[in-house]
């Protein structure tokens, strides 16, 4: 008999829940973590010994993306692809007989908490939290969830077996696995701690408390396993999917000397000046469809050359009303209109640069991009001075700014109206 297991069988095993544990090599304790369905191991070599205590149990290995069933003969891999049945033999002429029936197909319906599994004429209702077991039979497998058993039969000899649809399992790096089979998609947690999904490679669970492991890395408020994932601009990215060539919206760039603004694909050079890392080009990001920010002289090519000019509210990325009212925030590090991972430099950070200007002026590459006077509605001082906003305000209508003079290469500071439009240099968080 050739065995045929419908592709959906892989997904069925995860709808029932049982107290099982991550069998990764790093976890050798007997403390249980709550998993849905099959017990999960990192790879086949980390499976426990298939002895009398493991008979009838099913395990899923992430590395091989395979199910392993423990029987008296040891582990056997369950083939989700389905094997072709042997060709039928020619019979003597006679009355046409009925063709043998295919193995029963399975479907899944229901809500996130309760699923109904139908295989042929047999139906089982599975609730999150119920334990499922698998028993091997002469014809296939029996899946038992709660008090209901669904039988999955091997393919019949005498006709070609049907190919199962390929299934893939992906890990989002934040404690959840997703299996996709054709149009069916199922997501389940690796482990739960006080009903919160987590990755055992990045956290430990004690009672109801999650604690980040020392080897894990923070990414956008979540700790990830650095062996398999990377934090790229606050986005969790599987290391296996990282391209050897770095692209910024399709354009190749060098991360060692450039940053990519993923919002519009602009590239900016940067330099580390002492304990600070500054952009060495003026920001050129079109904020709020141009509200509160301009190209010098309203000439688009000047944005390419000098970057954009922003009034203080646009630089802080807040309502324009804050150009004449107090916003607050003191000398905090505010992202404002800067790219992710960078922020609008505050007065204290500018003062550090000012104190070391003789050392770092060349590397900073100040630009004399001029300014826009709101009270006079004119552009002025291009190629003469460059004015830079600090995030710090000094009155309801004024803020701290720093200015570069091209003629002598000096840097100084003063205060001016928030409505005045100046350049922006961002500093790395």
What sign results for the dihedral spanned by CA atoms 72, 77, 78, 79? negative
The arithmetic mean of pLDDT across residues 32-55, rounded, is 77
* Vertex 101: Cα angle to 99 and 104 (nearest 5): 170
Pick the residue with more confidence: 376 or 212? 212
Question: 85-130 pLDDT, tens per residue?
Answer: 577 666 565 555 455 455 556 777 777 667 777 776 677 776 766 6
Structural domain spans, the chain? 9-87+101-153, 167-241, 251-428
DSSP helix/strand/coil, 86: coil
CA 283 to chain centroid? 27
The arithmetic mean of pLDDT across residues 60-74, rounded, is 84
Distance CA 142, CA 149 (A): 6
Q: Give the per-residue pLDDT at 22.
A: 43
How many CA atoms does the CB half-sphere of 268 hold within 13 Å?
Answer: 28
Pick the residue with more confidence: 316 or 51? 316
**Statement: residue 35 has pLDDT above 60:** no
Question: 235-271 pLDDT, tens per residue?
Answer: 887 876 655 567 888 888 888 899 999 999 999 999 9
**In 3D, which of 259, 191, 239 has the Cα closest to residue 35?**
191
DSSP 201-244: TTEEEETTEEEE-TT-EEETTEEE-TTTEEEETTEEEEGGG--S
Question: 347-391 pLDDT, tens per residue?
Answer: 999 999 999 999 999 999 999 999 999 877 899 999 999 999 999
Distance CA 161, CA 275 (A): 66
CA 143 to chain centroid? 34
Lowest mean pLDDT of 198-212, 231-245, 281-295, name the range: 231-245
Average pLDDT, the chain: 81
Distance in Å from the first CA to the final CA of the chain: 64
**Would you state the structure tokens that stand for residue 144, as one six-digit string?**
């038992």
- The secondary structure element, H or E, covering residue 167 is strand 167-171
Question: 124-155 pLDDT, tens per residue?
Answer: 776 766 667 777 777 777 777 766 777 766 66
Q: How many CB atoms lie within 10 A of CB 50?
A: 19
Question: 315-340 pLDDT, tens per residue?
Answer: 999 999 999 999 987 788 899 999 99
Question: 216-229 pLDDT, tens per residue?
Answer: 988 888 899 888 88
**In 3D, which of 350, 311, 27 has the Cα closest to residue 190?**
27
Helices (H), 318-407: 347-355, 357-364
What φ, ψ does residue 145 adopt, rounded to 5°? -120, 115
Q: Give the per-residue pLDDT at 168.
A: 78
Q: Give the per-residue pLDDT at 31.
A: 32
Distance CA 134, CA 148 (A): 12
Question: 140-194 pLDDT, tens per residue?
Answer: 777 777 667 777 666 655 555 556 567 878 888 888 888 888 778 888 898 999 8
Write the CA distances from 260 to 1, 15, 219, 263, integer angstroms: 58, 41, 18, 9
Distance CA 377, CA 309 (A): 13
- The radius of gyration computed from the CA coordinates of the chain, to the nearest angstrom, equals 32
Q: Give the per-residue pLDDT at 41.
A: 86
What φ, ψ does residue 203 adopt, rounded to 5°? -135, 160
Distance CA 93, CA 206 (A): 72
CA 286 to chain centroid? 26
Partners of 151 in beta bridges: 142
Please say whether the beta carbons of 259 and 339 come within 8 A: yes
Please say whether the beta carbons of 58 and 39 come within 8 A: yes
* Vertex 353: Cα angle to 414 and 218 (nearest 5): 120
Q: Which residue has the tokens 């500018």?
A: 350
Helices (H), 143-285: none
Sheet with 184-189, edge to edge strand ranges? 167-171, 176-181, 184-189
**Would you state the structure tokens that stand for residue 197, as one six-digit string?**
């999904």
The arithmetic mean of pLDDT across residues 422-426, rounded, is 97
Q: Give the per-residue pLDDT at 130.
A: 63
The share of the chain scoring above pLDDT 90, in percent, equals 41
Q: What is the DSSP letter of 273?
A: E
């Amino acid at each position: 008999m050739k065995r045929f297991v419908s592709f959906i069988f892989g997904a069925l095993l995860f709808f029932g829940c049982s107290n099982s544990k991550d069998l990764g090599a790093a976890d050798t304790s007997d403390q249980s973590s709550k998993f849905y369905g099959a017990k999960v191991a990192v790879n086949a070599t980390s499976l426990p010994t298939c002895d009398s205590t493991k008979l009838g149990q099913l395990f899923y290995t992430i590395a091989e993306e395979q199910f392993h069933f423990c029987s008296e003969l040891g582990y056997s891999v369950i083939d989700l692809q389905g094997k072709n049945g042997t060709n039928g033999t020619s019979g003597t002429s006679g009355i046409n007989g009925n063709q043998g029936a295919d193995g029963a197909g399975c479907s899944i319906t229901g809500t996130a908490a309760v699923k109904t599994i139908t295989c042929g004429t047999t139906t089982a209702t599975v609730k999150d939290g119920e334990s499922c077991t698998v028993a091997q039979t002469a014809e296939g497998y029996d899946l038992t969830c709660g008090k209901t058993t669904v039988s999955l039969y091997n393919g019949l000899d005498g006709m070609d077996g049907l190919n199962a649809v390929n299934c893939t399992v992906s890990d989002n790096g934040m404690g959840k696995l997703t299996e996709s089979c054709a149009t069916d998609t199922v997501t389940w947690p690796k482990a739960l701690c006080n009903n919160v999904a987590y990755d055992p490679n990045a956290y430990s669970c004690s009672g109801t408390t999650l604690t980040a492991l020392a080897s894990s890395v923070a990414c956008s408020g979540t700790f990830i396993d650095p062996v398999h994932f990377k934090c790229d601009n606050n986005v969790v990215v599987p290391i296996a999917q990282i391209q050897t060539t770095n692209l910024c919206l399709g354009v190749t760039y060098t991360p060692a000397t450039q940053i990519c603004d993923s919002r519009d694909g602009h590239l900016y050079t940067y330099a580390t000046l002492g304990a600070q890392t500054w952009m060495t080009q003026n920001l050129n990001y079109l904020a709020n469809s141009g509200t509160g920010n301009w190209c010098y002289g309203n000439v688009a090519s000047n944005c390419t050359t000098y970057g954009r000019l922003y009034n203080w509210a646009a630089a802080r990325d807040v309502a324009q009303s804050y150009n004449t009212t107090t916003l607050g925030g003191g000398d905090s590090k505010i992202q404002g209109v800067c790219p992710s991972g960078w922020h609008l430099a505050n007065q204290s950070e500018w003062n550090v640069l000012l104190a070391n200007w003789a050392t770092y002026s060349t590397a900073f590459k100040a630009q004399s991009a001029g300014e826009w006077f709101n009270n006079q509605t004119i552009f002025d001082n291009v190629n003469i001075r460059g004015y830079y906003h600090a995030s710090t305000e000094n009155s309801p209508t004024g803020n701290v700014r720093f200015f570069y003079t091209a003629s002598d290469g000096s840097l100084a500071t003063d205060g001016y109206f928030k409505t005045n439009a100046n350049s922006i240099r961002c500093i790395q968080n």
